[in-house]
Structure 1
């Protein structure tokens, strides 16, 4: 289910103060990176990901692939940082960035 414009705006404002939790190097997405991404999304729901990829087109492709693999939605992408969201099945209010 795509996020509405109002929900994206709300998540962008929440994400402004977040620090990147996952860093993806130029090698792309490995099983370990996907596992860490899924763990972070399960815990926090809204996370920032830093992409250490120099080429803009390749970076956009990695973000799309990352969201597809993690079943997440892109909220915002600025430079080498992406803000992504996936609703947790059993959210923990102490860990979640949106609750």
Structure 2
């Protein structure tokens, strides 16, 4: 899935008021964390993930792994919080991303 920079800015604005849904702690990315991320993306499509463990490079690696495993798009990364998006057409009221 590819989205444009304008769509990313729009999604970032939509995520501004959201609280982090998934928290990654000292144990890192476990199967349970990936399961929660997948479940949250199915339910919400646009989520924030807070990564509290490791230094900057470890957090970047974790975010890349989250993208690969969940097949989601990284909208933005602000400090230790990542905003990720994955469309779910099966949802009763899917998030409609405008086409710029």
After superposing the two structures, state which structure 1 stretch, 84-93 or 67-76, moved more.
84-93
In 2, distance between residues paired with 1:81 and 1:27? 17
In 2, distance between residues paired with 1:66 and 1:74? 9
Aligned residue pairs total 96
Query: What's the offset of the Cα at 1:38?
Result: 0.3
Q: Secondary structure at the match of 1:90?
A: coil
In 1, distance between residues paired with 2:26 and 2:56? 12
TM-score of the superposed pair, with normalisation by structure 2: 0.89
TM-score of the superposed pair, with normalisation by structure 1: 0.90
Structure 2's unaligned 5+ residue stretches are none
For 2:14, the equivalent position in structure 1 comes to 14
CA deviations 1:12-59 (Å, max 9, x no partner) are 000100000000112211111111100000000000001112400000
**Aligned alpha-carbon RMSD (Å):** 1.2
Query: What's the offset of the Cα at 1:2?
Result: 1.6
The correspondence of residues 15-94 of structure 1 with structure 2, limited to 5 A, is: 15-93=15-93
